[in-house]
Amino acid sequence: MSARTVRSYYHSIDEKRYDDLEELIAPDFVHERPDRTFEGRKTFVAFMRDERPRTETSHELDRLYDDGDEIAVRGRLLDENGDRLFGFVDVHTIDDGAIARIETYTD
């Protein structure tokens, strides 16, 4: 279930299904990125829906490492033409079936 939740997280963002995204993450969700930290599900979903600078992107997942409570994903963010913007590793912490935390590392 956890790996499916993580894959659904990326699909929800790429397909702009923000209600689905909100259901996948915990209310006290935290996302630590190199450029900023988001605290709270509502804050993160609002950013993804209304404030992110590029919305015509997609996540290409190369590998997923699952140890139960933590799932690491190695992938690439692609622009609207399918060109690589950057590579990333996201470490997802799962709590009660929801994504509670993500730590993002980029190249």
- The pLDDT of residue 1 is 63
- 50-101 pLDDT, tens digit per residue, is 999 999 999 999 999 998 779 999 999 999 999 999 999 999 999 999 999 9
Overall pTM > 0.75: yes
For the chain, the average pLDDT equals 96
pLDDT score recorded for residue 48: 97
Flag whether pLDDT at 106 surpasses 90: yes
The stretch 9-16 carries a mean pLDDT of 98
**What is the percent of the chain where pLDDT is above 70?**
99
Nearest of 81, 79, 29, 38 to residue 59 by alpha carbon: 79
